[in-house]
Structure 1
Amino acid sequence: MTHSALSPVFTALRLGLHALVVALIALVVLRALTLGGPTEIAAIVLAVVMLSTYAAGTLLARRARSVPVPDGARHHGSAVFVWLAVLTVEWIVLVLLSPDAAYLVFPLFFLYLHLLPRAVAVPAVVVSTGAAIVAIGVHSGFSVGGVIGPLVGAAVAVAIGLGYEALAREAVERERLIAELVAAREELAARGREAGKLAERERLGAELHDTVAQALSSIQLLLHAAERTATPDGGGVADTEQLRSHLALAREAAATALAETRGLIDELSPPALVGSTIADALERVASTTSAQSGVPVVVTVTGEPISLSTPVTTALLRVAQSSLANVVQHAGASRADVTLSYLDEEVILDIDDDGVGFAPERLGEREAGGSFGLVSMRRRITELGGDVEVRSAPGTGTTVTVRFAERPDTEG
């Protein structure tokens, strides 16, 4: 049975059954030692053998245990049937040697009901009940108590067995419902995320259509008009004022489209990058880190700035934030340096600290433990076409280097 909230109940029932078997066999042994008689040794030996058989079969019964289906059908291995048959034969022989062994029929009831198909279990309970009544009658004489006792015990065992089946069935049904609920929640969350993406795409598409696309269409019309003004059909002189007017309107439309485009880019950029360069954003991150942790962080920018795409700029900022967070939380450093270098067609970001360092070959273990984000950082940079290098050793600090190749231009 799979683990569920009812598992402790089932475990308690099994432990109770084991304790009952041990207690009853101990009773048989003690009574045999106390009363003596010609069958004393045989009863004690057979009681120990029966206990050993029960203990050896417990693991087998656990493997064969299955939850009953609605129609009560069960499918167990033949080894379980053999084990129950051997245990039953041992009990029959033992009850012939000692009348106290008749009480062992009660745990046998539970084993029959739990491990045998219902069509076999109920007849087995009836037959064993009759055998117990006969054994008690042979040893002590037939009486009302000797008949009623086993019958009541059998009825109680059947009731408990049916209750156990109901609990087991309820546990399986609950696990199935929980699994379906979790799956539905995950699917709903995935659909929500997808719907959010689609809604954002539609919003951006509408924004681009209403702003940039309209501006470009206006620019195209104005340039066509300017072209016709510059080259009249009749070969006359071009209207300079009208030409300038068309070009001025086209330039104004282009400026508007550029402003709208930058506004959309700002919406997709991290807040720290809105209206500022990557260098400004790094300065703010360093200042915040120093103020919050007390670890001095110095930012250095070298070279002539080049144009960086929004994904690359965002990735550089995220790397700096993650690396500085690691410095504060794990490195035990007294200082950290952030260096942004523009080298012709390449931009390099270095984050260096003088902390305790670590063994790079254990990077995967630290990521699995949730204490280091460099593995996911490397994955993100690689997806954007960049390179990540981590240099560290115990006691020597850590340096994280990120490289991106970009076309040189003036950073906007």
Structure 2
Amino acid sequence: MTRLPLASTVLPAALGLLGLLAGCSAQPDPERSSSPSASAPSSAAATAGPDPTPSASPSPSPSPTPSATPEAEPTPKPDPVSMAALIDLRYDGRDLDRGRLLADPGPYKRYAVSFRGDGKKITGIMNLPDGEGPFPVVVLNHGYIDPDTYWSGQGMPREQDVLARRGFAVLHVDYRNHAGSSDDDGGEAGTDYRLRLPYVVDTINAVKAVKGATGSRWTSLDRGSVGWFGRSMGGGVTLRALAVQPGLVDAAAVWASVSSSEADNWERWYEDDPERRATNRRIDRSYGLPDDSPAFWRRASARPSFDRITEPVLVQHGGSDRTCPVRWARTTVDALEDAGVEVRSTIYPGADHTFEGRTFTTAMDRTADFFDDHLR
């Protein structure tokens, strides 16, 4: 603030008034003491008179107030039972181990195998063609079989045999809770409660274990050429795995697959199953049922994530399938095409879920040819 010169005739009166005010109160005004004000002139200044050339008194520059840096909002973690949670998961499939020889049909040998991942040991079988290779690898994801009656390699025996005879190494995954594999938290009921998403973890770790296999026992594997092949429930496992880990395999085939919408699958197998009543109550409490919580069920489904898939997909389905309705396959193919996925599909009129007789032969030839095109 500019200090104005005081006239000599006014100054004595002003000083007298200041002394009078000072005698009225011994306590400073708290309001005034908290706010900046100009200093009263000293007696020396009064005697000397005004400066001949008054100038503005520089006010101290206020220190800049540091602006608070807004903290970034933490990214919310996805629901543990969702495709997003699988996408965020770190996969550590490793330690592919070959156990005892189970059979020697001639063109290939059949071995017990195991690998590790997600804190678990997962068992399976491998058909390994005779010869030096390298042989492309097809990882098989089997359909639903009661874990209490399942034995290692039980699913897809015909498919295992044909692919091995066509020169593919075949790894059939048992999944957790099956055969010699580790149990999931809560066993099979715990896996059902999580809508079987843990099986996706197992097959992704199977591929990781194949790609990381070392040692003389695995020199005949072409670890850079791997495909997935899933049937029924395993078809759903395969579709989810493709969306979760795009680029991990080179191609995938699905036969007679469950729906790519988990709400369809719950209504088909869970809703009226008396053995799943406790699981259904738990699902209802935690997530809500499909009619009440459609957003949750979409997040747990493969279909909304089809735009992440980068591999060609072969879809084959029976036109008279009474287990997995053919409309599910048509809807899945349409959604894959809409997402820009390269997809081939065949519907076999009159064929049921199991692809018997000539249907199996034709479908299997098409599948092996498809893998020949993309894995060799």
Question: What TM-score does the superposition give when structure 1 sets the normalisation length?
Answer: 0.22
Which of structures 1 and 2 has the bigger CA Rg?
A: 1
Point out the structure with the larger strand share: 2
Question: What TM-score does the superposition give when structure 2 sets the normalisation length?
Answer: 0.23
